[in-house]
Structure 1
Amino acid sequence: MSTDRTVSSAAGRSRPGEPVYLVFSDVDETLIHCKSLLDFLDHYFAERHGSRGRRHAAGVRARLAAATAAGMARDEANALYYRAWRGEPVADVWWAGRRWYADRRATGGFFVDATRAALRRHRADGAELVLVSGSFGAVLDPLAEECAAAHVLCTLPEVVDGVLTGEVVGEPVIGEGKRRAVRALLARHPHVDPADCHAYGDHVSDLPMLLEVGHPTVVGESTDLLERLRAARRMSPA
């Protein structure tokens, strides 16, 4: 089904104040080319703690790489990542996220242009954009503002007395966590039919999210994801 036909059928069912449909987009290597969590890890700890921070970030990367190679599930690796932030002041982290975003945005080649263009078309058609990511607000908030995303579904780091504890609130928004987050948002929009909605992802961990909508798109060439979602539209990230 083309975007135009989707809008035509959905618009007839929507009510005033309701989006025509929702568009769910993964972020890393779907909307932007980099892995935001790792890139921001390097940026923040080098900026705030200098050489000690660079060593800390390198150690976290090494532990994550070893855990992933040993078969650790992606949601568990996501939780392991957040433990690296224990003791950091949340306000400093959030302001650093805006500086990181401005730096990366200014270098060019930051966005996956095909995805960004598709999301713009959806918004012009009356859809609401939803970013769905295992990343966190420090990284995602400025991106959501620039893309005019109506919602951000993401992992929530725990904060006590203004300091990150290294734990997360609830479950990481990875894999089945993405499915549950998408379903919860759809439940808040009862006049939106999931069959009219779109979703974009690049990795097999996005599959639960992609299966929740009528129009999934695979960004890139993930063999695992394409094998499991043969009917999906394919889009090159170049």
Structure 2
Amino acid sequence: MPDPSGPAPRRLVFSDVDETLLSGKSLFDFLDFYFAGLHGADGARHAARARRRIAALVAAGAPREVGNRVYYEAWKGERLDDVTAWGTDWFARRSGTPGFYVPATRAALRAHRKAGDAVVLVSGSFPAVVDPVAVDIGADHVLCTRQETREGILTGAVVGEPCIGEGKRRAVRKLAECYPDISLSDCYGYGDHVSDLPMLSAVGHPVVVGGSRELVAEISGARVLPATGPV
């Protein structure tokens, strides 16, 4: 929600996270990091099984939304406090390594913040992973998939719909309603995959990170940023 005590932003800037702001797939990296770290060899095998199941779905043509829900099923029975604490540790370890962030996107978001824009992270990932990133880059909002819990234990389900595909578009539009003086036609969006198209098509200034041919073909005149190397 907007901060009534602060200055109103000029625009909203929406950015995907994995392979747009971060160079890798944080969802899978954290899956391995957590389960192997907390549960040892059994946890590593559990994470590997989840990865294989999702890979099979993708190979069969299942949409990312389906794979996203299957991913969260792997977390059933874990304590939310443990997952959150390990997310903080994961970020502390990974963020110090070269290439953690996509340089061009990181620089672009810095420039947006300096210009008085509000930065919003929009991700199919979940708070344990996204929140530390948001704090580090100074994001104003996080729109992401939320896991269902019961008495502090993850159920393996998500609350509402995953923040992916059309879910991203709906989340973007819902947040924009909180800023009635800002038109989405004046706002920016950053994404790397065709599943980001609903979000990118909701804003007036879409930016494709990495130059996906499929995504560029869908968005006429979109700006393209490199996914690797210097800005």
Q: Is TM > 0.5 for Structure 1 vs Structure 2? A: yes
Deviations 1:144-193 (A, max 9, x none): 00011110000000010000000000000000000000000011100011
Q: Is the contact made by 1:134 and 1:172 (CA closer than 8 Å) also made in structure 2?
A: yes
1:189-208 pair list within 5 angstroms: 189-208=179-198
In 1: Cα distance, 2:20 partner to 2:108 partner: 11
> Once the 2 structures are TM-superposed, how far is the Cα of residue 38 of structure 1 from its aligned partner?
0.4
With normalisation by structure 1, the TM-score equals 0.92
Deviations 1:73-97 (A, max 9, x none): 1101100000000000000000000
* Structure 1 position 163 matched with structure 2 position 149: no
- Who is 1:233 aligned against? 223
In 2: Cα distance, 1:195 partner to 1:62 partner: 40
- Who is 1:51 aligned against? 41
What SS is found at the alignment partner of 1:213? coil
1:1-150 pair list within 5 angstroms: 17-150=7-140
> Once the 2 structures are TM-superposed, how far is the Cα of residue 230 of structure 1 from its aligned partner?
2.1
In 2: Cα distance, 1:219 partner to 1:132 partner: 14
- Who is 1:187 aligned against? 177
> Once the 2 structures are TM-superposed, how far is the Cα of residue 221 of structure 1 from its aligned partner?
2.1
What SS is found at the alignment partner of 2:95? helix
In 2: Cα distance, 1:107 partner to 1:73 partner: 31
- Structure 1 unaligned runs (5+)? 1-15
> 1:142 is aligned with what amino acid?
P
Deviations 1:59-117 (A, max 9, x none): 11111100110111110110000000000000000000010111111222100010000
- Who is 2:207 aligned against? 217
In 1: Cα distance, 2:97 partner to 2:108 partner: 22
In 2: Cα distance, 1:78 partner to 1:120 partner: 29
> Once the 2 structures are TM-superposed, how far is the Cα of residue 195 of structure 1 from its aligned partner?
1.6
Q: Is the contact made by 1:18 and 1:191 (CA closer than 8 Å) also made in structure 2?
A: no
Any runs of at least 4 consecutive aligned residues in structure 1 with deviations exceeding 3 A, and if so which? none
How many residues matched?
223
Q: Which moved more, 1:174-183 or 1:228-237?
A: 228-237
Alignment root-mean-square deviation, CA: 0.8
In 1: Cα distance, 2:165 partner to 2:157 partner: 19
